[in-house]
Amino acid sequence: MIRLGKTLAILKNHKSFPAKRKVSMYIKEEIRDALKQKKAVVALESTIITHGMPFPENVNCALQVEQIVRQQGAVPATIAIVKGRIKIGLSPEEIVTLGDTKSSDPVKISRRDLSYAISNKRNGGTTVSATIIAATKAGIPIFATGGIGGVHRGAESTFDISADLIELGRSKIAVISSGVKSILDISKTLEYLETQGVFVATFGKTNDFPAFYSTKSGFNVPYCIQRAEEAAAVIKCHNELDLQSGMLFAVPIPEEYAFDPEIIEGFIEKALKEANCDDVRGKNITPYLLSQIAKLTGGKSLESNVALIKNNARVAADIAVALVALEDGAQTGNDASQFNLEGRPFVIGGSNLDCSATLDTSEIKLDGRILNANFTYTAGGVGRNICESLCKLGFPPNFLSVVGADERGKMIMSVIPPQSRHFVRVDDSCNTAECIVVFDDRGSCRLLMGDMKIHNKITPEVILENESIIKTAPLIILDSNLSEEAIEECLKLAVKHNIPVLFEPTDVEPSTKPFKTPHWKAIKFITPNLSELEHIARFFDFVPQKSSSDIAKAEELSRKLLSHGIDNIIVTLGSKGVLVARKGLATEKFFTNNYEEHVRFYPTEAINSLVNVSGAGDCFASGFIAALISNMPEEVCVSVGFAAAKLALKCQAAVPMEIFDRSHRSWERSASYQNIL
């Protein structure tokens, strides 16, 4: 009798029986180390580079998306096929090479195309399905993309259904996207996802499933999740149950980039007709339609596409960081093990929920009647704004603040970048700080109300508890939301450890708080507006003369404060610009031994289409700080500050969704100025 098991063993070991060889998959060392150390990693697809956008927009977008993932505390893993090799993580040079499609000649790669592209040593951009396969093999649990594929319109006759849906149904991965591309049949796509057992939730305020270019599709899904921590908890449970199916978190496109559903639908219908006339089918249909829609919208759809991809990457990174913290058994957002906390700037200040009420009238009568208004809620607080801005500039600070154990506190925590959340405390004895600003129909601020009691929870004792980290900071940034006692403790530590302090006055009345302490000369920088500057000057008994202009008044008062011992005075003058008074030239770095006093005025460029001015000053301060701690000269510090403020003026939120990194031109140019003699 022939023993089959032994026979197969003999055959397998025989030289003429070839051993099964695995296809080569290269994992970038940084990503391999991050996975080994259980750090947050986000997978990114590459068809946006090869088939989704024109060159060089595709390359710029891919590099910026990676930067956003890093800013949120995660490691980006862009996946592609390069010369027949699956690569988990691309170098910037590889992204540029792949993005120049005329020379790279890439294949659009789904599951069915992998073997062909690899065996023929081709370059290729991985679609959602192929990226899922590679990410799953590498052990990456979170994947960010623009929009997934789905059931195409007319699929009842063409049977055109994206492989993305099949892959989602059999791979244990969480995909973060802006729903499905609006060129698809969204209703049928959601039905198909349900059949495949895919968990679907919106990541936003409603259950209305987003439609790529639009925030809403009109189709509801079962679940709505609003915080990264909540999403991480669902993913963790899903993994523990070992459910061999994927998860889809649908993130609405940022409002400022969204299209009206009816308008974009008209463009889609026209593009579909053109595709039918040109007989475009199969895997070519999606890039064709996106290209046609870009033409029909005059390029605005491409701008929206870029914005939603970046936003999804940010959300995915936040979820990945929260998932790592949760799996480590740490309290989400307070796990310091994955971040190096030493040597960062240290921001100590307020975190608020800002409510803007814009009335439909300029006639305000406070007699008990209801005034019609449009309400907008955004995360605010000067300290928090500066913290978020610095993170988005690539300089994550440590941030000490307090929020309440309420829904407002949860909302604030969710938008504080994870890498800066370690020192933020949750206190259940107070409400989260809230500021209500009432504007009339002309945009003028008519009333301010605030509940700021919780800021007093930042006590001298709390500050001293963190001395071991504070003493490593290159700069301490304080806002005037702190009590005088807390400010004094901060200034004591600054003197003790020889750390310069930047003080942001926040408002007129509290602007003199630090100058009431005996250690106020630890303050090396102040960033007041003109009203705050005047209030500080009056505290020192400097009364301004009758000046012909705001610039002249700022110059007069700044010189007096400069001679009194405040080394660097940066006065924000709204739409006019910024005045800088210091001992040093514009071409010199700060902390030089130049004892000659100089005052310079930096005018701003005219900006059209202003959306919101509330965060411009904080973003300017953040850009200035980022360049300051990078040891740049004054004129570059102002240049970076202006560039950050300009973005804030065009955004509804106090801090823009994204800012820029060190590659931005503002780091290479000098802001123009006028010497004031």
CA proximity to 620, closest of 502, 452, 511? 502
CA-to-CA separations, 36 to 123, 320, 340, in angstroms, rounded: 28, 15, 18
In the residue annotation, 30 being an active-site residue is answered as no
How many C-alpha atoms does 140 have within 13 Å on its Cβ side? 32
Measure CA of the first residue to CA of the last residue in the chain; give whole Å: 108
* Whether the Cβ atoms of residue 570 and residue 639 lie closer than 8 Å to each other: no
Residue with tokens 């914005």: 307
What kind and span of H or E run contains 491? Answer: helix 484-496
C-alpha 369 chain-centroid distance: 40
Cα-Cα-Cα-Cα dihedral sign, residues 12, 18, 22, 24? positive
C-alpha 161 chain-centroid distance: 33
Q: DSSP 3-state assignment of 252? A: coil
CA proximity to 402, closest of 436, 437, 431, 379? 431
Q: What distance in Å separates the CA atoms of residue 302 and residue 169, rounded to the nearest whole number?
A: 29
Q: What distance in Å separates the CA atoms of residue 363 and residue 298, rounded to the nearest whole number?
A: 41
Backbone angles phi, psi at 424, to 5 degrees: -80, 125
What kind and span of H or E run contains 302? Answer: helix 300-327
In the residue annotation, 300 being an active-site residue is answered as no
Residue with tokens 């669902």: 234
Task: Tell me which of 39, 87, 108, 181 is the catalytic residue.
Answer: 181
Q: What distance in Å separates the CA atoms of residue 152 and residue 156, rounded to the nearest whole number?
A: 9
Q: DSSP 3-state assignment of 102? A: helix
Task: Tell me which of 28, 39, 45, 87 is the catalytic residue.
Answer: 45
C-alpha 353 chain-centroid distance: 18
Cα-Cα-Cα-Cα dihedral sign, residues 189, 194, 195, 196? positive
Q: What distance in Å separates the CA atoms of residue 352 and residue 358, rounded to the nearest whole number?
A: 19
CB atoms closer than 10 angstroms to residue 258: 21
C-alpha 171 chain-centroid distance: 28
Beta-strand ranges (E) seen in 469-565 are 476-479, 501-504, 523-526
- Enumerate residues 6+ apart whose C-beta is below 8 A from 189: 150, 151, 165, 180
Q: What value does the CA radius of gyration of the chain take, rounded to a whole number of Å?
A: 28
**Catalytic positions:** 45, 181
